[in-house]
A = this chain, B = another copy of it.
């Protein structure tokens, strides 16, 4: 029986240790480094970097070789949280159970800490290319991550999310929004991990489809938890989406249909990786966890 808790604990510990090593401890401005570390080392599920490592393992690659790419992805995720939380954006004061970066420091520092995490991520990816045996494949990973994070991916999703507040979207429109805002990066995690593990074209396709289904299921579940979740466990207030007139699946489809949708997406994700045998166990367990988690 595959032990997910133990797997996640081990993987997050490796990721946290590597993140700690990759970030400077001091520099010409200690304040901005403190703010970067405050947000990056605040914990969180480390879902994205774990998915990257698990994808490498699923195609029989060494997850060690995906570790720095996985950490770069987590830095990009954290930068996006810092900027999304800003007063001019979602104006959130609580994240992962602690004051958000601009509350703990100030707005200017939070903007710069986000910028610096994004920049550090690409510095790490550049070093990964320089030291890779296959620099062109490593550069393809970097391009894929930049595309997923940029104005055709995550940033467009955040912009759409703000632009459509208070306006009711169709389920298709909401799916597009999420595929940009969270889906593109989750998909990139899987694809980069797969590429590092030298996936075949078929495996790459399957892991891409797994990632797309998982990403959307993750978001639907997030929306459900935002209505039903325990604020103490989630580290942020429940019901904030509705308060803010954010588009979310429960409001659009109802809670029961939203749960069915999440389950169907996870079934599809699992179907995609049927052929992976035992090496796919972590990805299977993560898929099941994504919709059963309570925060």
A268 sits at the interface (CB 8 A): no
Looking at the assembled complex, report how far the CB atom of A64 sits from the nearest CB atom of chain B, in whole angstroms: 20
Task: Decide if B116 touches A142 in the complex (CB within 8 Å).
Answer: no
Check A155–B31 contact: CB distance below 8 A. no
Asked if A151 contacts B29 (CB within 8 A), the reply is yes
B139 near A130: Cβ-Cβ < 8 Å = yes
Q: Are the CB atoms of A142 and B155 closer together than 8 Å?
A: no
How far does the alpha carbon of A107 sit from the alpha carbon of B91 in the complex, in Å? 12
Contact B135 A108 (CB under 8 A): no
Which of A55-63, A158-166, A210-218 is the interface stretch? A158-166
Residue tally, chain A, CB below 8 Å to B: 55
Residue picked from A24, A36, A109, A155, most chain B C-beta under 10 Å: A155
Q: Is A253 an interface residue (CB 8 A)?
A: no
Chain B CB within 8 A of A176 CB: yes
A65 in the interface (beta carbon within 8 A):
no
Interface status of A83 (Cβ within 8 A of chain B): yes
Assess whether A174 is interfacial by the CB under 8 Å rule.
no
**Which one of A36, A116, A176 has the greatest number of beta carbons of chain B within 10 Å?**
A116
- CB-defined interface of A95-136 with B at 8 Å, one 1/0 digit per residue? 000000000001111011011101110110111011000011
Residue of B nearest to A150 (CB): B119
A interface majority secondary structure = helix
Determine which of B27, B83, B109, B180 lies in contact with A111 in the assembled complex, contact meaning CB atoms within 8 Å: B83
Whether the Cβ atoms of B139 and A135 lie closer than 8 Å is yes
**A202 contacts chain B at the CB level, 8 A cutoff:** no
Query: Which of A112, A125, A127 has the most chain B CB atoms closer than 10 A to its own CB?
Result: A112
Taking a contact as CB atoms closer than 8 A, the residue among B112, B139, B152, B159 that contacts A31 in the complex is B159
Q: A83 contacts which chain B residues (CB < 8 A)?
A: 111-112, 115
Q: State whether B156 touches A143 (Cβ < 8 A).
A: no
Q: Can you list 11 residue pairs at the A/B interface with Cβ under 8 Å? A: A28-B156, A88-B106, A108-B159, A114-B115, A119-B151, A120-B150, A123-B147, A127-B139, A129-B142, A130-B136, A130-B140
Q: Which residues of A contact B (CB under 8 A)?
A: 24, 27-29, 31-33, 36, 79, 83, 86, 88-89, 106-109, 111-112, 114-116, 118-120, 122-123, 125-127, 129-130, 135-136, 138-140, 142-143, 146-147, 149-152, 155-160, 162-163, 176, 180
